[in-house]
């Protein structure tokens, strides 16, 4: 079946100045691709084929379910090789000039709220989430259960601010090991140059332990995978205060899930 490029997809030179993006109240999206004036056709999958995959990804804690939903609803196209960007807002703004009906936007937001609740994670403080998908979406990604697309990616969860429990575990472990103090603001820097907490370099055994913890919780070990992380000290915000705030957020999220 022929399937045209529709909705918020665009054809524009990658990184060019002329970029079009819809302004959406709750969902904003844009896609970037090399300019191509030729006719393009795409595969159209039936909803009853895609819905079980979306449901399975949702239940397994994979946020990429949202791309399957967008494909299923006709807002992105299979095989278009585009770079898709999606911004999802939890709160309605005063202006809505989207081509996507407001009721559909709200449905996407409500489903996302349910997804976050299923992880027992609190919502990001700033109330919005940014998703991106490089090189578009294709059938092999969707239908192969072993594809990276179908697997839960801890690094992606961290980027989407869905790793508060991992953050709490890290902080408590630092206190337990005597590397950080509850009554002092946390200052740490983890990178290929070494792991430092309050300016003190962790020894080999300590670094190996935290590399494993971070890999498990964040999907990066922050030492030999070209990643780094830092936490600057703010005198008015002790580690004890941060831990208490995280525990409150996580407990509140768990209570809402159990209601």
> Which residues form the domain of 189?
164-258
User: Measured between alpha carbons, how far is 25 from 98 in angstroms, rounded to an integer?
Assistant: 7
Residue 41 lies in a domain: yes
> Do 146 and 236 have their domain in common?
no
pLDDT tens across 128-187, in order?
Answer: 899 998 888 888 899 999 999 999 999 999 999 999 999 999 999 999 999 999 999 999
* Nearest to 155, CA basis, from 56, 62, 59, 58: 62
pLDDT tens across 11-56, in order?
Answer: 222 222 222 233 333 555 554 444 444 444 445 678 899 999 999 9
Q: Are 66 and 27 in contact (CB under 8 A)?
A: no
Please report the pLDDT score of residue 23 as a whole number: 32
Number of structural domains in the chain:
2
Residue 20 lies in a domain: no
User: Measured between alpha carbons, how far is 163 from 121 in angstroms, rounded to an integer?
Assistant: 7
Q: Are 225 and 233 in contact (CB under 8 A)?
A: no
pLDDT at 215 exceeding the cut of 90: yes
> Do 148 and 31 have their domain in common?
yes
């Amino acid at each position: 079946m022929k399937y045209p490029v529709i909705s918020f997809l665009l054809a524009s030179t990658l990184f060019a100045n002329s970029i079009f993006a819809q302004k959406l109240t709750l969902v904003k999206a844009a896609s970037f691709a090399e300019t191509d004036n030729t006719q393009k056709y795409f595969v159209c999958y039936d909803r009853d084929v895609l819905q079980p995959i979306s449901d399975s990804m949702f239940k397994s804690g994979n946020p990429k379910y949202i791309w399957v939903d967008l494909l299923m609803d006709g807002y992105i196209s299979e095989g278009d090789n585009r770079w898709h960007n999606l911004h999802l807002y939890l709160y309605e703004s005063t202006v809505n000039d989207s081509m996507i009906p407001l009721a559909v936007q709200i449905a996407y937001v409500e489903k996302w709220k349910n997804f976050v609740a299923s992880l027992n994670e609190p919502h990001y403080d700033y109330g919005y989430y940014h998703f991106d998908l490089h090189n578009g979406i294709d059938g092999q990604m969707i239908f192969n259960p072993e594809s990276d697309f179908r697997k839960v990616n801890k690094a992606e969860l961290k980027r989407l601010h869905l790793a508060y429990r991992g953050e709490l575990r890290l902080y408590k472990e630092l206190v337990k090991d005597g590397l950080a103090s509850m009554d002092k603001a946390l200052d740490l820097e983890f990178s290929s140059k070494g792991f430092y907490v309050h300016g003190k370099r962790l020894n080999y055994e300590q670094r190996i332990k935290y590399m494993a913890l971070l890999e498990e919780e964040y999907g990066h070990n922050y030492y030999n995978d070209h990643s780094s992380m830092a936490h600057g000290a703010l005198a008015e915000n002790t580690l004890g205060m941060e831990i208490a705030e995280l525990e409150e957020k996580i407990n509140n999220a768990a209570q809402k899930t159990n209601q």
